[in-house]
A and B are shown apart, each in its own frame.
Chain A
Protein backbone atom coordinates (compact mmCIF):
# COMPACT_ATOMS: atom_id res chain seq x y z
CA UNK A 1 0.00 0.00 0.00
CA UNK A 2 1.44 3.39 -0.93
CA UNK A 3 2.44 5.57 1.99
CA UNK A 4 -0.04 8.30 1.06
CA UNK A 5 -3.00 5.96 1.28
CA UNK A 6 -1.77 4.72 4.63
CA UNK A 7 -1.55 8.25 5.99
CA UNK A 8 -4.91 9.12 4.50
CA UNK A 9 -6.53 6.13 6.19
CA UNK A 10 -4.96 6.98 9.51
CA UNK A 11 -6.21 10.54 9.16
CA UNK A 12 -9.69 9.35 8.24
CA UNK A 13 -9.78 7.17 11.34
CA UNK A 14 -8.80 10.10 13.54
CA UNK A 15 -11.53 12.21 11.90
CA UNK A 16 -14.03 9.39 12.49
CA UNK A 17 -12.96 9.26 16.16
CA UNK A 18 -13.53 12.99 16.50
CA UNK A 19 -16.93 12.86 14.81
CA UNK A 20 -17.96 9.89 16.94
CA UNK A 21 -17.03 11.57 20.21
CA UNK A 22 -18.76 14.81 19.22
CA UNK A 23 -21.97 13.13 18.10
CA UNK A 24 -21.98 10.91 21.20
CA UNK A 25 -22.03 14.02 23.40
CA UNK A 26 -24.35 16.25 21.34
CA UNK A 27 -28.09 15.63 21.91
CA UNK A 28 -30.33 13.97 20.80
CA UNK A 29 -29.40 10.49 22.01
CA UNK A 30 -31.22 8.00 19.80
CA UNK A 31 -28.71 5.18 20.23
CA UNK A 32 -29.85 3.63 23.53
CA UNK A 33 -31.46 0.49 22.12
CA UNK A 34 -28.68 -0.17 19.65
CA UNK A 35 -26.14 0.31 22.45
CA UNK A 36 -27.78 -2.35 24.61
CA UNK A 37 -28.09 -4.81 21.75
CA UNK A 38 -24.44 -4.32 20.69
CA UNK A 39 -23.32 -4.73 24.30
CA UNK A 40 -25.21 -8.01 24.67
CA UNK A 41 -24.00 -9.13 21.25
CA UNK A 42 -20.34 -8.66 22.21
CA UNK A 43 -20.96 -10.27 25.60
CA UNK A 44 -22.60 -13.34 24.06
CA UNK A 45 -19.95 -13.74 21.39
CA UNK A 46 -16.83 -13.26 23.49
CA UNK A 47 -17.31 -14.79 26.93
CA UNK A 48 -16.38 -18.34 26.00
CA UNK A 49 -13.38 -17.70 23.71
CA UNK A 50 -12.09 -15.25 26.32
CA UNK A 51 -12.46 -17.77 29.13
CA UNK A 52 -10.47 -20.44 27.29
CA UNK A 53 -7.86 -17.95 26.09
CA UNK A 54 -7.13 -16.36 29.45
CA UNK A 55 -6.97 -19.62 31.39
CA UNK A 56 -4.66 -21.11 28.74
CA UNK A 57 -2.47 -18.02 28.61
CA UNK A 58 -2.34 -17.61 32.39
CA UNK A 59 -1.47 -21.24 32.97
CA UNK A 60 1.11 -21.46 30.18
CA UNK A 61 3.11 -18.26 29.88
CA UNK A 62 3.34 -16.62 33.30
CA UNK A 63 2.15 -19.66 35.26
CA UNK A 64 4.38 -22.52 34.15
CA UNK A 65 7.41 -20.54 32.98
CA UNK A 66 7.63 -18.29 36.02
CA UNK A 67 6.87 -21.18 38.39
CA UNK A 68 9.68 -23.17 36.77
CA UNK A 69 12.04 -20.30 37.37
CA UNK A 70 10.91 -19.64 40.94
CA UNK A 71 11.02 -23.32 41.90
CA UNK A 72 14.76 -23.28 41.13
CA UNK A 73 15.16 -20.75 43.95
CA UNK A 74 12.59 -22.41 46.21
CA UNK A 75 10.50 -19.25 46.01
CA UNK A 76 7.28 -20.49 44.43
CA UNK A 77 5.30 -18.30 46.87
CA UNK A 78 6.48 -15.30 44.83
CA UNK A 79 4.31 -16.43 41.91
CA UNK A 80 1.40 -14.44 43.34
CA UNK A 81 3.43 -11.24 43.25
CA UNK A 82 4.56 -11.99 39.73
CA UNK A 83 0.94 -12.43 38.66
CA UNK A 84 0.20 -8.85 39.59
CA UNK A 85 2.75 -7.75 37.03
CA UNK A 86 1.96 -10.43 34.47
CA UNK A 87 -1.80 -10.65 34.69
CA UNK A 88 -3.14 -7.28 35.81
CA UNK A 89 -0.61 -5.12 34.02
CA UNK A 90 0.04 -7.10 30.86
CA UNK A 91 -1.72 -10.13 29.62
CA UNK A 92 -5.29 -9.75 30.89
CA UNK A 93 -5.67 -6.44 29.01
CA UNK A 94 -4.07 -7.59 25.80
CA UNK A 95 -5.70 -11.02 25.65
CA UNK A 96 -9.03 -9.27 26.22
CA UNK A 97 -8.23 -6.87 23.40
CA UNK A 98 -7.11 -9.65 21.04
CA UNK A 99 -10.26 -11.67 21.69
CA UNK A 100 -12.55 -8.64 21.43
CA UNK A 101 -10.88 -7.49 18.20
CA UNK A 102 -10.86 -10.97 16.72
CA UNK A 103 -14.40 -11.92 17.73
CA UNK A 104 -16.56 -8.83 18.24
CA UNK A 105 -14.53 -6.47 16.03
CA UNK A 106 -14.59 -8.79 13.03
CA UNK A 107 -18.32 -9.32 13.49
CA UNK A 108 -18.88 -5.55 13.50
CA UNK A 109 -16.82 -5.10 10.33
CA UNK A 110 -18.64 -7.94 8.60
CA UNK A 111 -22.00 -6.49 9.64
CA UNK A 112 -21.28 -2.90 8.61
CA UNK A 113 -19.46 -4.03 5.47
CA UNK A 114 -22.50 -6.06 4.42
CA UNK A 115 -24.73 -3.01 4.96
CA UNK A 116 -22.32 -0.86 2.99
CA UNK A 117 -22.22 -3.08 -0.08
CA UNK A 118 -25.99 -3.60 0.04
CA UNK A 119 -26.13 0.23 -0.01
CA UNK A 120 -28.11 0.29 3.21
CA UNK A 121 -25.83 2.96 4.64
CA UNK A 122 -26.55 5.25 1.69
CA UNK A 123 -30.25 4.54 2.10
CA UNK A 124 -30.03 5.56 5.75
CA UNK A 125 -28.42 8.83 4.79
CA UNK A 126 -31.13 9.50 2.22
CA UNK A 127 -33.69 8.94 4.96
CA UNK A 128 -31.92 11.59 7.01
CA UNK A 129 -30.53 9.13 9.56
CA UNK A 130 -26.91 9.86 10.49
CA UNK A 131 -24.95 6.54 10.26
CA UNK A 132 -22.29 7.81 12.66
CA UNK A 133 -24.76 8.71 15.37
CA UNK A 134 -26.94 5.64 14.95
CA UNK A 135 -24.41 2.94 14.05
CA UNK A 136 -20.89 3.98 15.05
CA UNK A 137 -21.57 5.73 18.37
CA UNK A 138 -23.47 2.81 19.99
CA UNK A 139 -20.78 0.35 18.85
CA UNK A 140 -18.02 2.65 20.08
CA UNK A 141 -19.57 3.08 23.53
CA UNK A 142 -20.63 -0.56 23.83
CA UNK A 143 -17.17 -1.89 22.91
CA UNK A 144 -15.43 0.52 25.29
CA UNK A 145 -17.65 -0.56 28.17
CA UNK A 146 -17.64 -4.26 27.37
CA UNK A 147 -13.85 -4.39 26.87
CA UNK A 148 -13.28 -2.62 30.18
CA UNK A 149 -15.60 -4.99 32.02
CA UNK A 150 -14.19 -8.06 30.29
CA UNK A 151 -10.78 -7.05 31.65
CA UNK A 152 -11.95 -7.97 35.16
CA UNK A 153 -13.30 -11.27 33.89
CA UNK A 154 -9.97 -11.92 32.14
CA UNK A 155 -8.08 -11.03 35.32
CA UNK A 156 -10.06 -13.54 37.36
CA UNK A 157 -9.58 -16.35 34.87
CA UNK A 158 -5.94 -15.46 34.24
CA UNK A 159 -5.28 -15.73 37.96
CA UNK A 160 -7.17 -19.01 37.95
CA UNK A 161 -4.57 -20.20 35.41
CA UNK A 162 -1.87 -19.14 37.89
CA UNK A 163 -3.60 -21.06 40.67
CA UNK A 164 -3.63 -24.19 38.52
CA UNK A 165 0.10 -23.70 37.82
CA UNK A 166 0.76 -23.38 41.58
CA UNK A 167 -1.22 -26.53 42.33
CA UNK A 168 0.54 -28.43 39.54
CA UNK A 169 3.80 -27.62 41.29
CA UNK A 170 2.37 -29.04 44.50
CA UNK A 171 2.61 -25.73 46.36
CA UNK A 172 0.00 -24.42 48.82
CA UNK A 173 -2.21 -21.52 47.74
CA UNK A 174 -1.89 -19.40 50.90
CA UNK A 175 1.49 -17.87 50.00
CA UNK A 176 0.27 -17.23 46.44
CA UNK A 177 -2.59 -15.09 47.73
CA UNK A 178 -0.42 -13.45 50.37
CA UNK A 179 2.17 -12.19 47.85
CA UNK A 180 -0.56 -11.39 45.36
CA UNK A 181 -2.44 -9.07 47.68
CA UNK A 182 0.64 -7.42 49.16
CA UNK A 183 1.82 -6.54 45.66
CA UNK A 184 -1.49 -5.60 44.11
CA UNK A 185 -2.13 -1.87 44.08
CA UNK A 186 -5.01 0.34 43.01
CA UNK A 187 -2.82 2.01 40.39
CA UNK A 188 -2.32 -1.36 38.71
CA UNK A 189 -6.04 -1.98 38.60
CA UNK A 190 -7.12 1.40 37.26
CA UNK A 191 -4.24 1.37 34.80
CA UNK A 192 -5.44 -1.98 33.54
CA UNK A 193 -9.06 -0.84 33.28
CA UNK A 194 -8.20 2.43 31.56
CA UNK A 195 -5.95 0.63 29.12
CA UNK A 196 -8.58 -1.93 28.12
CA UNK A 197 -11.29 0.72 27.79
CA UNK A 198 -9.07 2.59 25.35
CA UNK A 199 -8.35 -0.65 23.50
CA UNK A 200 -12.10 -0.98 23.08
CA UNK A 201 -12.19 2.48 21.52
CA UNK A 202 -9.36 1.58 19.10
CA UNK A 203 -11.06 -1.67 18.09
CA UNK A 204 -14.44 0.02 17.56
CA UNK A 205 -13.07 2.86 15.45
CA UNK A 206 -10.86 0.66 13.25
CA UNK A 207 -13.56 -1.97 12.72
CA UNK A 208 -16.35 0.54 12.06
CA UNK A 209 -14.15 2.52 9.67
CA UNK A 210 -13.14 -0.56 7.70
CA UNK A 211 -16.72 -1.83 7.59
CA UNK A 212 -18.14 1.50 6.44
CA UNK A 213 -15.55 1.88 3.69
CA UNK A 214 -15.79 -1.70 2.39
CA UNK A 215 -16.00 -1.87 -1.38
CA UNK A 216 -15.35 -4.16 -4.31
CA UNK A 217 -18.11 -6.73 -4.49
CA UNK A 218 -17.75 -10.30 -3.29
CA UNK A 219 -14.23 -10.10 -1.96
CA UNK A 220 -14.72 -6.64 -0.46
CA UNK A 221 -16.24 -7.56 2.89
CA UNK A 222 -13.73 -10.33 3.50
CA UNK A 223 -10.87 -7.98 2.63
CA UNK A 224 -12.28 -5.34 4.94
CA UNK A 225 -12.41 -7.80 7.85
CA UNK A 226 -8.86 -8.91 7.09
CA UNK A 227 -7.48 -5.36 7.08
CA UNK A 228 -9.52 -4.31 10.10
CA UNK A 229 -8.16 -7.06 12.31
CA UNK A 230 -4.55 -6.50 11.19
CA UNK A 231 -4.74 -2.75 11.86
CA UNK A 232 -6.53 -3.32 15.17
CA UNK A 233 -3.85 -5.75 16.39
CA UNK A 234 -0.97 -3.45 15.43
CA UNK A 235 -2.77 -0.48 16.95
CA UNK A 236 -3.46 -2.36 20.20
CA UNK A 237 0.13 -3.42 20.69
CA UNK A 238 1.62 -0.09 19.70
CA UNK A 239 -0.71 1.64 22.17
CA UNK A 240 0.08 -1.00 24.80
CA UNK A 241 3.79 -0.21 24.56
CA UNK A 242 3.28 3.52 24.94
CA UNK A 243 0.80 3.11 27.79
CA UNK A 244 2.87 0.59 29.79
CA UNK A 245 5.96 2.72 29.37
CA UNK A 246 4.17 5.85 30.54
CA UNK A 247 2.47 4.13 33.48
CA UNK A 248 5.68 2.50 34.70
CA UNK A 249 7.72 5.65 34.33
CA UNK A 250 5.18 7.93 36.03
CA UNK A 251 4.23 5.60 38.90
CA UNK A 252 7.49 4.27 40.31
CA UNK A 253 5.68 3.00 43.43
CA UNK A 254 4.08 0.11 41.52
CA UNK A 255 7.49 -1.24 40.58
CA UNK A 256 8.48 -2.02 44.15
CA UNK A 257 8.16 -5.68 45.03
CA UNK A 258 6.83 -6.00 48.55
Chain B
Protein backbone atom coordinates (compact mmCIF):
# COMPACT_ATOMS: atom_id res chain seq x y z
CA UNK B 1 0.00 0.00 0.00
CA UNK B 2 2.74 2.42 0.94
CA UNK B 3 4.59 1.55 -2.27
CA UNK B 4 1.49 2.42 -4.27
CA UNK B 5 0.97 5.72 -2.52
CA UNK B 6 4.60 6.81 -3.00
CA UNK B 7 4.36 5.87 -6.65
CA UNK B 8 1.13 7.83 -6.92
CA UNK B 9 2.65 10.94 -5.39
CA UNK B 10 5.62 10.56 -7.77
CA UNK B 11 3.27 10.64 -10.74
CA UNK B 12 1.41 13.62 -9.31
CA UNK B 13 4.65 15.40 -8.62
CA UNK B 14 6.01 14.93 -12.13
CA UNK B 15 2.63 15.98 -13.55
CA UNK B 16 2.93 19.16 -11.51
CA UNK B 17 6.48 19.80 -12.73
CA UNK B 18 5.31 19.24 -16.31
CA UNK B 19 2.39 21.65 -15.86
CA UNK B 20 4.67 24.33 -14.41
CA UNK B 21 7.08 23.91 -17.31
CA UNK B 22 4.26 24.18 -19.87
CA UNK B 23 2.79 27.17 -18.05
CA UNK B 24 6.11 28.98 -18.24
CA UNK B 25 6.47 28.38 -21.98
CA UNK B 26 2.88 29.43 -22.66
CA UNK B 27 3.42 32.53 -20.50
CA UNK B 28 6.52 33.50 -22.43
CA UNK B 29 4.68 33.22 -25.73
CA UNK B 30 1.63 35.02 -24.38
CA UNK B 31 3.63 37.90 -22.89
CA UNK B 32 5.47 38.23 -26.23
CA UNK B 33 8.87 37.77 -24.54
CA UNK B 34 9.52 35.30 -27.31
CA UNK B 35 9.45 38.10 -29.89
CA UNK B 36 13.06 38.89 -29.00
CA UNK B 37 13.94 35.68 -30.83
CA UNK B 38 11.45 35.98 -33.66
CA UNK B 39 14.15 35.09 -36.18
CA UNK B 40 14.72 31.75 -34.43
CA UNK B 41 10.96 31.15 -34.43
CA UNK B 42 10.89 31.75 -38.18
CA UNK B 43 13.78 29.33 -38.65
CA UNK B 44 11.92 26.70 -36.63
CA UNK B 45 8.81 27.34 -38.71
CA UNK B 46 10.84 26.75 -41.85
CA UNK B 47 12.21 23.48 -40.49
CA UNK B 48 8.68 22.40 -39.54
CA UNK B 49 7.38 23.11 -43.05
CA UNK B 50 10.23 21.41 -44.87
CA UNK B 51 10.55 18.31 -42.72
CA UNK B 52 7.05 17.49 -41.51
CA UNK B 53 4.42 18.56 -44.03
CA UNK B 54 4.89 15.70 -46.47
CA UNK B 55 4.55 12.93 -43.88
CA UNK B 56 1.52 14.62 -42.31
CA UNK B 57 -0.14 14.86 -45.72
CA UNK B 58 0.72 11.23 -46.49
CA UNK B 59 -0.90 9.99 -43.31
CA UNK B 60 -4.06 12.11 -43.70
CA UNK B 61 -4.25 10.94 -47.31
CA UNK B 62 -4.10 7.26 -46.34
CA UNK B 63 -6.67 7.84 -43.59
CA UNK B 64 -8.91 9.61 -46.10
CA UNK B 65 -8.77 6.57 -48.39
CA UNK B 66 -9.68 4.42 -45.40
CA UNK B 67 -12.69 6.58 -44.49
CA UNK B 68 -13.74 6.51 -48.11
CA UNK B 69 -13.78 2.74 -48.57
CA UNK B 70 -15.37 2.06 -45.18
CA UNK B 71 -18.00 4.69 -45.93
CA UNK B 72 -18.70 3.30 -49.39
CA UNK B 73 -19.06 -0.28 -48.18
CA UNK B 74 -21.09 0.70 -45.11
CA UNK B 75 -23.54 2.79 -47.11
CA UNK B 76 -23.85 0.09 -49.75
CA UNK B 77 -24.76 -2.38 -47.02
CA UNK B 78 -27.60 -0.18 -45.74
CA UNK B 79 -28.79 0.25 -49.32
CA UNK B 80 -27.84 3.88 -49.84
CA UNK B 81 -24.52 3.96 -51.71
CA UNK B 82 -25.27 7.53 -52.81
CA UNK B 83 -24.89 8.68 -49.21
CA UNK B 84 -21.27 7.59 -48.78
CA UNK B 85 -20.48 11.32 -48.53
CA UNK B 86 -22.07 11.55 -45.07
CA UNK B 87 -19.74 8.94 -43.65
CA UNK B 88 -16.71 10.38 -45.42
CA UNK B 89 -17.45 13.96 -44.34
CA UNK B 90 -17.89 13.13 -40.66
CA UNK B 91 -15.16 10.54 -40.53
CA UNK B 92 -12.57 12.77 -42.22
CA UNK B 93 -13.27 16.19 -40.86
CA UNK B 94 -14.48 15.48 -37.35
CA UNK B 95 -12.50 12.49 -36.22
CA UNK B 96 -9.79 10.83 -38.21
CA UNK B 97 -7.96 13.80 -39.72
CA UNK B 98 -7.45 15.30 -36.23
CA UNK B 99 -6.31 11.91 -34.92
CA UNK B 100 -3.95 11.20 -37.80
CA UNK B 101 -2.57 14.73 -37.55
CA UNK B 102 -1.99 14.14 -33.83
CA UNK B 103 -0.33 10.77 -34.44
CA UNK B 104 2.03 12.15 -37.05
CA UNK B 105 2.77 15.27 -35.03
CA UNK B 106 3.67 13.08 -32.05
CA UNK B 107 5.77 10.73 -34.18
CA UNK B 108 7.57 13.25 -36.35
CA UNK B 109 7.61 16.59 -34.53
CA UNK B 110 7.30 15.50 -30.88
CA UNK B 111 10.05 12.90 -30.93
CA UNK B 112 12.14 15.15 -33.20
CA UNK B 113 12.05 17.92 -30.59
CA UNK B 114 13.00 15.49 -27.81
CA UNK B 115 15.92 14.12 -29.83
CA UNK B 116 17.18 17.60 -30.72
CA UNK B 117 16.81 19.24 -27.30
CA UNK B 118 17.93 16.10 -25.48
CA UNK B 119 21.18 15.89 -27.39
CA UNK B 120 21.74 19.63 -26.76
CA UNK B 121 21.16 19.04 -23.06
CA UNK B 122 23.57 16.14 -22.69
CA UNK B 123 26.30 17.80 -24.75
CA UNK B 124 25.92 20.79 -22.38
CA UNK B 125 24.86 23.16 -25.14
CA UNK B 126 21.86 24.35 -23.12
CA UNK B 127 24.12 25.27 -20.20
CA UNK B 128 26.40 27.04 -22.65
CA UNK B 129 23.45 29.12 -23.84
CA UNK B 130 22.68 30.12 -20.26
CA UNK B 131 26.31 31.09 -19.68
CA UNK B 132 26.20 33.31 -22.76
CA UNK B 133 23.21 35.07 -21.22
CA UNK B 134 20.59 33.68 -23.56
CA UNK B 135 17.47 32.49 -21.69
CA UNK B 136 17.54 28.92 -22.98
CA UNK B 137 13.89 28.14 -22.37
CA UNK B 138 12.68 31.14 -24.33
CA UNK B 139 15.22 30.59 -27.09
CA UNK B 140 14.63 26.84 -27.51
CA UNK B 141 11.14 26.00 -26.29
CA UNK B 142 8.97 29.10 -26.64
CA UNK B 143 10.20 29.74 -30.18
CA UNK B 144 9.18 26.20 -31.12
CA UNK B 145 5.70 26.74 -29.75
CA UNK B 146 5.37 30.05 -31.60
CA UNK B 147 6.60 28.43 -34.80
CA UNK B 148 4.05 25.63 -34.39
CA UNK B 149 1.23 28.12 -33.91
CA UNK B 150 2.30 30.12 -36.96
CA UNK B 151 2.62 27.19 -39.33
CA UNK B 152 0.47 24.29 -38.20
CA UNK B 153 -3.03 25.71 -38.81
CA UNK B 154 -2.13 25.87 -42.51
CA UNK B 155 -0.50 22.45 -42.48
CA UNK B 156 -3.61 21.14 -40.78
CA UNK B 157 -5.99 22.74 -43.29
CA UNK B 158 -4.03 21.34 -46.22
CA UNK B 159 -4.00 17.96 -44.44
CA UNK B 160 -7.82 18.13 -44.30
CA UNK B 161 -7.70 18.82 -48.03
CA UNK B 162 -5.51 15.75 -48.60
CA UNK B 163 -7.99 13.64 -46.63
CA UNK B 164 -10.97 14.98 -48.62
CA UNK B 165 -9.21 14.32 -51.92
CA UNK B 166 -8.39 10.77 -50.85
CA UNK B 167 -11.98 10.06 -49.78
CA UNK B 168 -13.22 11.37 -53.11
CA UNK B 169 -10.77 9.15 -54.97
CA UNK B 170 -11.73 6.09 -52.92
CA UNK B 171 -15.51 6.52 -53.12
CA UNK B 172 -15.97 7.90 -56.63
CA UNK B 173 -12.99 6.65 -58.61
CA UNK B 174 -12.20 3.36 -56.89
CA UNK B 175 -15.51 1.90 -55.64
CA UNK B 176 -17.48 3.92 -58.17
CA UNK B 177 -21.07 3.39 -56.97
CA UNK B 178 -21.93 7.06 -56.82
CA UNK B 179 -21.45 9.79 -59.39
CA UNK B 180 -19.01 12.58 -58.73
CA UNK B 181 -21.77 15.17 -58.48
CA UNK B 182 -23.94 13.03 -56.21
CA UNK B 183 -21.03 12.44 -53.86
CA UNK B 184 -20.05 16.10 -53.76
CA UNK B 185 -23.62 17.23 -53.05
CA UNK B 186 -23.99 15.03 -49.96
CA UNK B 187 -20.38 15.48 -48.88
CA UNK B 188 -20.57 19.28 -48.72
CA UNK B 189 -24.14 19.31 -47.40
CA UNK B 190 -23.07 17.44 -44.27
CA UNK B 191 -20.40 19.88 -43.15
CA UNK B 192 -20.21 23.59 -42.55
CA UNK B 193 -17.64 26.18 -41.45
CA UNK B 194 -18.17 25.64 -37.68
CA UNK B 195 -17.24 21.98 -38.19
CA UNK B 196 -14.01 23.01 -39.86
CA UNK B 197 -13.18 25.51 -37.11
CA UNK B 198 -13.86 22.92 -34.38
CA UNK B 199 -11.69 20.45 -36.24
CA UNK B 200 -8.83 22.96 -36.46
CA UNK B 201 -9.18 23.70 -32.74
CA UNK B 202 -8.96 19.99 -31.99
CA UNK B 203 -5.87 19.55 -34.15
CA UNK B 204 -4.13 22.63 -32.79
CA UNK B 205 -4.79 21.62 -29.16
CA UNK B 206 -3.15 18.29 -29.91
CA UNK B 207 -0.23 20.02 -31.62
CA UNK B 208 0.28 22.42 -28.70
CA UNK B 209 0.26 19.56 -26.18
CA UNK B 210 2.72 17.57 -28.29
CA UNK B 211 5.19 20.44 -28.71
CA UNK B 212 5.06 21.19 -24.97
CA UNK B 213 5.56 17.54 -23.99
CA UNK B 214 8.41 17.23 -26.49
CA UNK B 215 10.12 20.32 -25.08
CA UNK B 216 9.70 19.04 -21.52
CA UNK B 217 11.21 15.62 -22.15
CA UNK B 218 14.02 16.99 -24.32
CA UNK B 219 14.90 19.91 -22.07
CA UNK B 220 15.07 17.65 -18.99
CA UNK B 221 16.84 14.69 -20.64
CA UNK B 222 19.69 13.09 -18.71
CA UNK B 223 21.88 10.01 -18.77
CA UNK B 224 24.00 10.27 -21.88
CA UNK B 225 23.11 9.29 -25.45
CA UNK B 226 21.04 6.38 -24.10
CA UNK B 227 19.05 8.83 -21.98
CA UNK B 228 18.03 10.76 -25.10
CA UNK B 229 16.61 7.59 -26.66
CA UNK B 230 14.74 6.70 -23.47
CA UNK B 231 13.34 10.20 -23.14
CA UNK B 232 12.18 10.10 -26.77
CA UNK B 233 10.41 6.80 -26.18
CA UNK B 234 8.80 8.07 -22.97
CA UNK B 235 7.50 11.25 -24.59
CA UNK B 236 5.68 9.09 -27.14
CA UNK B 237 3.70 7.30 -24.40
CA UNK B 238 2.38 10.54 -22.95
CA UNK B 239 1.73 12.02 -26.39
CA UNK B 240 -0.39 9.10 -27.56
CA UNK B 241 -2.53 9.15 -24.44
CA UNK B 242 -2.94 12.94 -24.71
CA UNK B 243 -3.91 12.77 -28.40
CA UNK B 244 -6.71 10.31 -27.64
CA UNK B 245 -7.96 12.20 -24.60
CA UNK B 246 -7.98 15.55 -26.44
CA UNK B 247 -9.75 13.91 -29.38
CA UNK B 248 -12.47 12.53 -27.12
CA UNK B 249 -12.93 15.74 -25.12
CA UNK B 250 -13.08 17.76 -28.35
CA UNK B 251 -15.81 15.52 -29.75
CA UNK B 252 -17.75 15.70 -26.50
CA UNK B 253 -17.41 19.47 -26.33
CA UNK B 254 -18.12 20.39 -29.95
CA UNK B 255 -20.52 17.69 -31.15
CA UNK B 256 -21.63 15.98 -27.94
CA UNK B 257 -25.00 17.71 -27.71
CA UNK B 258 -25.33 18.93 -31.28
CA UNK B 259 -24.94 16.63 -34.29
CA UNK B 260 -24.83 19.69 -36.60
CA UNK B 261 -26.49 17.77 -39.42
CA UNK B 262 -28.83 19.26 -42.04
CA UNK B 263 -31.55 16.70 -41.23
CA UNK B 264 -33.90 15.90 -38.38
CA UNK B 265 -35.20 18.27 -35.73
Contact = CB atoms under 8 A, between A and B. Distances in A.
Contacts of A65: 90, 94-95, 251, 255
Nearest to A90: B70
Interface string A226-258: 100110111001101100110010000001110
* Band of interface residues on B: 35 or more
B55 to A, nearest CB: 6
A255 B79 CA distance: 11
B66 A240 contact: yes
A65 B65 CA distance: 19
A117 interface: yes
A114 interface: yes
B104 to A, nearest CB: 7
B186 interface: no
A76 to B, nearest CB: 12
Contacts, number: 180
B158 to A, nearest CB: 18
Contacts of A71: 259
A217 to B, nearest CB: 6
Contact of B237 (A102, A238, A255, A256): A102
Nearest to A118: B226
A256 B226 CA distance: 52
Contacts of B69: 241, 244-245, 248
A181 B169 CA distance: 33
A59 B241 contact: no
Contact of A222 (B66, B96, B232): B232
B229 A102 contact: no
Interface in A56-84: 56-57, 59-61, 64-65, 68-69, 71-73
Contacts of B216: none
Contacts of A191: none
A225 B232 contact: yes
A184 interface: no
A238 B61 CA distance: 10
Contacts of B59: 233-234, 237
Nearest to A111: B229
Contacts of B250: 60
Interface string B214-243: 000000000011101111110011011100
Interface string B97-136: 0011001101110011011101100110000000000000
A219 B228 contact: yes
Nearest to A232: B107
Nearest to A168: B256
B78 interface: yes
B259 A72 contact: yes
B263 interface: yes
Interface string A208-234: 000000100111111111100110111
B225 A114 contact: yes
A117 B111 contact: no
A56 B244 CA distance: 6
Most chain A beta-carbon neighbours within 10 Å: one of B104, B244, B245, B255: B244
B255 A72 contact: no
A88 interface: no
A219 B226 contact: no
B62 interface: yes
A68 B261 contact: yes
Given A52-B245, A240-B66, A69 B261 contact: yes
B63 interface: yes
Contacts of B111: 106, 222, 225-226, 229
Given A218-B122, A229-B236, A69 B112 contact: no
A53 interface: yes
A47 to B, nearest CB: 12
B77 interface: yes
Nearest to A108: B233
Most chain B beta-carbon neighbours within 10 Å: one of A45, A60, A85, A240: A60
A103 B259 contact: no
What 10 pairs between A and B have smallest CB-CB spacing? Answer: A222-B115, A221-B229, A110-B229, A72-B264, A68-B259, A106-B233, A60-B248, A219-B119, A56-B248, A60-B251
22 contacts: A49-B237, A56-B247, A57-B99, A64-B251, A64-B252, A65-B95, A68-B261, A69-B259, A72-B261, A72-B264, A90-B70, A106-B111, A106-B233, A109-B233, A217-B119, A222-B119, A222-B229, A225-B232, A226-B111, A226-B232, A234-B55, A255-B76
Given A217-B119, A234-B62, 20 more contacts: A49-B241, A60-B250, A61-B251, A64-B255, A64-B256, A102-B106, A102-B107, A103-B233, A111-B229, A114-B229, A218-B228, A221-B115, A222-B115, A222-B119, A230-B108, A234-B59, A237-B100, A244-B70, A248-B73, A257-B77
